[in-house]
Amino acid sequence: MSLSLRDQLVAAGLVKDKPPEKHGEKRGKDQRQQAKDRARQLAEQKAAAEKAAAAKAARDQELNRQREQSMGRKARMVQVKQLIEQNRLPKVDGDDYYNFIDGKKVRRIAVDAGLRARLIRGELLIARYEGRYDLVPNAIGERIRERDERSVVTPNTAPETAPAVDDPYKDFVVPDDLKW
């Protein structure tokens, strides 16, 4: 008669010849361990989900802050443009120019004698917007400077230096607005 499958496997050495375990003992231990593993995995997943939600909230908050900053900057630039357009002095046609330094470049704007005098006294300021330069009253220039520091060109201020004691030309002051 033929042997059972189990007997054949034992004879081949593939299975050990042990009495079968009781039905509920090992299985119960495995189920408890599996339940603990599942609970731990669920806790890890929940913690990871909370961490991801917190990271997303922080990222969204940063994006909102940047968006609000951008909108505020745009609103200030619109205000600057309106202030310049409403308060700029009319352009002067002529061959007389006022030279000023903007950044590292020397720029010029057409003026007449009265505007030049007012610029030198500080009654007028030069406002910049979209690559153009316009003259505005000092009060308006300060309002523009509050909104955007870069929109107002700082006036040419040469440091006042005292003439040297032994300088033979100390009595001869060269004016700033000398025309050649």
In tens, the pLDDT along 157-168 reads 555 566 567 788
Query: Among all chains, which residue has been given the structure tokens 């006036």?
Result: 155
Which value, to the nearest 10 degrees, does the dihedral of the CA atoms of residues 114, 143, 132, 180 take?
30
pLDDT tens digits, one per residue of 87-102: 999 988 888 899 988 8
Give the pLDDT band (50/70/90) at residue 50: very high
Tokens matching residue 127: 């406002």
Half-sphere exposure of residue 179: CA atoms within 13 angstroms, side-chain side? 7
The span from the CA of 120 to the CA of 115, in Å, is 9
Q: What is the pTM of this model?
A: 0.56
The span from the CA of 20 to the CA of 47, in Å, is 42
The span from the CA of 51 to the CA of 103, in Å, is 47
